[in-house]
Amino acid sequence: GTLSAQRDWVIDEHRLGSGEALLPGTGYLELIRAALAEIGASGAWQLSNLVFEAPLFVADGADRSFRLMLRGDEQRWDVELLAAHGEGYERCA
């Protein structure tokens, strides 16, 4: 997907005191929920061992691409969120 501070309120309305826009922790949960719904796993789920490794900042006037990867089955999913960084991606959660 792609996030934008101008287009996505969840980014624009979450800023540090310095003005930098970023995805809040609950935004990660919403991305996970949406990814599970996309693959048809829309039932109840439980989250454990979530680690925020790096903030997902989005520069004003720019888009930032991300990849959310699910690995597993209907009993257990491993989730990894990567955000575009230079020519590659960095792990965020």
Tens digits of residue pLDDT in 8-66:
999 999 999 999 999 999 999 999 999 999 988 877 888 888 888 889 999 998 999 99
Token pair in block for residue 42: 């829309």
Residue range 59-87, pLDDT digits in tens: 998 999 999 999 988 788 899 999 999 88
Looking at residue 14, its amino acid is H
pLDDT at 4 over 90: yes
Write the CA distances from 9 to 3, 54, 65, 86, integer angstroms: 10, 20, 16, 24
Phi, psi (degrees; rounded to nearest 5) at 29? -60, -40
Element (H, E) at 63: strand 63-72
Q: Answer yes or no: pTM beyond 0.75.
A: yes
* Structure confidence at residue 1 (pLDDT): 93
* Rounded CA separation 55/3 (Å): 13
* Structure confidence at residue 41 (pLDDT): 83
Beta bridge partners of 78: 71
